[in-house]
Structure 1
Amino acid sequence: MVRSLLIRGMIAGFLASLLAFGFAKVVGEPQVDRAIAFEEQMEKASGHHDETPELVSREVQSGIGLFVGVGAFGTAVGGLFALVFAFAYGRVGALRARAVSALMALFGFVAFALVPFLKYPPNPPSVGDPGTIGWRTAMFFAMLGLSLAALVLALLLARKLAARLGAWNAALAAGVAFLILVLLAQWLLPEINEVPERLPAVLLWRFRVASFGIQAVLWTGLGVLFGGLVERLLEDGRGAFRVA
């Protein structure tokens, strides 16, 4: 059964990545092109010209490179999503497969995308000091790890309190705990602000909205597609669990 779920998860992740790729191509790539044009203008104004040869052309980066990157990421996330679903299904009350999938996608989007985005929003290419890219990457993954840890602790708390407070009150308490842990993590981690003063605010805003939208499309697509793929596998027509 786990193997069947894993295959469906990877299929759903790949299909969701196609949706995310389409969104990135239409909405995100024009912002990247504008950011690159801004960088070139700043180089001309300063009299500095970067003569480093381009290893991968911009056409390849925005085409097959983007497709492969998003597709590999979506497929991997879909596989992990399926494994977590295999553990969670049947342990979260009488929720049907589609509901569990949608709930997991929501949790995943919040922990993987929303929380790290609020602390360290993405910047267009050429923005930031190249010498600090390693440190900035480490801080982002630290925020991501703390977000996931907070989610796990909140879910464990909800499960522990459910018998005493009821499912609804336990969920509210867990939500408050998650929010407190996330706010504490964001307060403890250092701020990063390396955006050039001359960078147009509209360009920065649109790039970040596009980046956020890509994640939203990916997780929404994954939750909906995976739920549809596994519903017939796990449930009968009345929504009851099938006997494996």
Structure 2
Amino acid sequence: MNPVSPRTLLVRGMLAGLLAGAVAFLVAYLLGEAKVDAAIAIEEAGQAAASAHEHAADAAAAHSHGEEAPVSRALQATAGLGTGVLLYGVALGGIAALVYCYALGRIGRFGPRATAALVTTGLFVTVTLVPFFKYPANPPAVGDPDTAARRTALYLLMIALSALLAAGALILGRRLAPKLGNWNASVVAGLGFVLLVGISYAVLPGINEVPADFPAALIWEFRLASLAIQTALWTTFGLAFGFLAERALVPSAAPKEALQPAS
């Protein structure tokens, strides 16, 4: 393989992340926005009912939506959502490319595409699946605004713990490989990762702020849509970055010149 600077892979990772963000935006618009609209409708209905119960219609109007929102819901669901998801994809693509630079040649004799697949899968499990199963995404109207900072901190803490445990599992697997073999070492390291993640789940506090009257089906549909968005993002990135990385790392075959026999 050609020696390639990390900058080259970083740029290609960000380009792959941009493409992945575009695909994720399409999935989010098709699967997620309807769930968000439904949750917002439930939230607004609850606010209207509470305002009517207080017998202060004028004050309630000023309290809930007395001023028109500076950004319309239609703009939020299109340009706002698209901008956010694209920036998110580019950022994750750059981070994943840096991880790829470190992992290339250090996790086994894998080619550029196989390494990209392994790195992408590992990051998907670490930064998406593990935090999701402890602190799944919730639609609007679910969650106390006063605890938003605490919930965000716990979610980020879960991501950090997952990343540290994954790095520890990787180191453990490499150290055990000479004694146990690659397969057995990988199994032991993976089981250790799962065990420690389970302990983290048990130690960290849970969050249950779902209103009793909120439709359970809507919550799970929203969570499944969120997971589908992340799956589309990481899958697209892994395929695109694997292709771009291979183009950069593996030299293309030189064209063969046809040799004409001497007459």
Give the TM-score, by structure 2 length: 0.87
Alpha-carbon distance change, 52 to 190 in structure 1, aligned in 2, over 3 angstroms: farther
Shift of 1:172: 0.4
Q: Distance in 2 between matches of 1:217 and 1:173?
A: 30
Deviations 1:200-240 (A, max 9, x none): 111111100011111111111111110011112212479xx
| Mapped pair 1:116 → 2:140 | no
Within 5 Å, which residues of 2 pair with 1:152-163?
Answer: 152-163=167-178
Within 5 Å, which residues of 2 pair with 1:193-204?
Answer: 193-204=208-219
Match of 1:144 in 2: 159
Match of 2:227 in 1: 212
Q: Distance in 1 between matches of 2:212 and 2:21?
A: 34
| Mapped pair 1:19 → 2:23 | yes
| Mapped pair 1:46 → 2:50 | yes
Q: Distance in 2 between matches of 1:112 and 1:75?
A: 16
Q: State the secondary structure of the residue aligned to 1:194.
A: coil
Instruction: Please tell me the root mean square deviation across aligned C-alpha atoms, in Å.
Output: 1.3
| Mapped pair 1:88 → 2:103 | yes
Q: Which amino acid is 1:204 matched to?
A: I
Q: Distance in 1 between matches of 2:228 and 2:10?
A: 26
Alpha-carbon distance change, 58 to 84 in structure 1, aligned in 2, over 3 angstroms: same
**111, 114, 133: which is aligned to 1:99?**
114
Q: Which amino acid is 2:74 matched to?
A: E
| Mapped pair 1:78 → 2:108 | no
Deviations 1:81-116 (A, max 9, x none): 111111111112211111110111111111111010
Alpha-carbon distance change, 52 to 97 in structure 1, aligned in 2, over 3 angstroms: farther
Q: Name the larger-Rg structure.
A: 2
Which sections of structure 1, spanning at least 5 residues, go unmatched? 239-244
Match of 1:55 in 2: 70
**Contact 2:103-2:119 within 8 A present in 1 as well:** no
Q: Which amino acid is 2:189 matched to?
A: A
Match of 2:56 in 1: none
Deviations 1:122-179 (A, max 9, x none): 1101211111111111111111111111111101111111111111111101101110
Q: Which amino acid is 1:198 matched to?
A: D
Q: State the secondary structure of the residue aligned to 2:205.
A: coil
Identity of aligned residues (%): 47
Shift of 1:52: 5.2
Match of 2:192 in 1: 177
Match of 1:37 in 2: 41
Alpha-carbon distance change, 52 to 146 in structure 1, aligned in 2, over 3 angstroms: farther
Match of 2:14 in 1: 10
Q: State the secondary structure of the residue aligned to 1:156.
A: helix
Match of 2:180 in 1: 165
Shift of 1:51: 2.8
Shift of 1:11: 0.2
Q: Which amino acid is 1:72 matched to?
A: L
Q: How many pairs align?
A: 238
Q: Distance in 1 between matches of 2:75 and 2:238?
A: 30
Q: Distance in 1 between matches of 2:158 and 2:66?
A: 33
Q: State the secondary structure of the residue aligned to 1:47.
A: helix
**Contact 2:135-2:207 within 8 A present in 1 as well:** yes
Which segment is superposed worse, 227-236 or 79-88? 227-236
Match of 1:242 in 2: none
